[in-house]
A = this chain, B = another copy of it.
Amino acid sequence: MPSSNVRYVSPPITANNSSSSTVISAANEDDTWVWAQIKSEARRDAESEPALASYLYSTILSHSSLERSLSFHLGNKLCSSTLLSTLLYDLFLNAFTSDPSLRSAVIADLRATRQRDPACESFSHCFLNYKGFLACQAHRVTHRLWQQSRQPLALALHSRIADVFAVDIHPAARIGKGVLFDHATGVVVGETAVIGNNVSILHHVTLGGTGKVGGDRHPKIEDGVLIGAGATILGNVKIGEGAKIGAGSVVLIDVPPRTTAVGNPARLVGGKEKPSQNKDVPGESMDHTSFISEWSDYII
């Protein structure tokens, strides 16, 4: 399980997209509300865009629950001529309805995306179109299969996720809630990696192993971490709570909590001895570039 001392509480949700007039009131913040909101958005879009209505009805509006809708969507996205959509639909639906924690993780991830990605137009936009979101939910099901000792099925599904979304998360990897995989293409997460809650991970990020020896060999990403695009973290290292890893960084050793590591090889912003302290939760604030001024040799 991801690190248990989750200090970072979810901030009040505010629309992060000024072009959106949606008012998200705290009182409505329950799971039912999100599904109702998705349906409402889809209905609005179906009305304004007949060319998309068929798509919106088949994926969202014809379904009686978020679990059914998501199972349908994933089943149709991930099926192939040898793994039929009906089989996958059944598999997903069974998992999502048997395990309430999967559902709450879906909701948390939807909220995380909506809150942190200014390009995220709406919940339904994320739900339908974000490959990072979809790959992550499908991973949660492969992880459940893995825990049930159904390795061959988990790996076959994992292979489909890697083909379809170009997101390669080993079924054994453990992922917390409120996680955002933004853009997501090229993400690789190894077998013994652990990702905490409220983490944000950009595309092309690798949480990789150290060689051909088995055992615990992949990174542990604690709560609230932000990992920039193209960062490579290798080995059983710990990225401490609230740390930030700059885009393109190569990290092979532990990064202390609330610090920022940048570069190849990565160094701490502010220096090893007295690194600068992140004041917010990078995984939530998504501040990618504020460390520039302190990056000593960054001169253009």
Contacts and interface: CB of A to CB of B under 8 A. Distances in A.
A78 to B, nearest CB: 11
A212 interface: yes
A237 to B, nearest CB: 9
A115 to B, nearest CB: 7
Contacts of A215: 18, 118
A52 B83 CA distance: 8
A276 to B, nearest CB: 13
A282 to B, nearest CB: 9
Contacts of A59: 82
Contact of A53 (B61, B206, B254): B61
A255 B300 contact: yes
Interface string A151-192: 111011011001111101010000000000001011010110
A121 B155 contact: yes
A260 B298 CA distance: 14
A89 interface: yes
B121 A151 contact: yes
Nearest to A268: B300
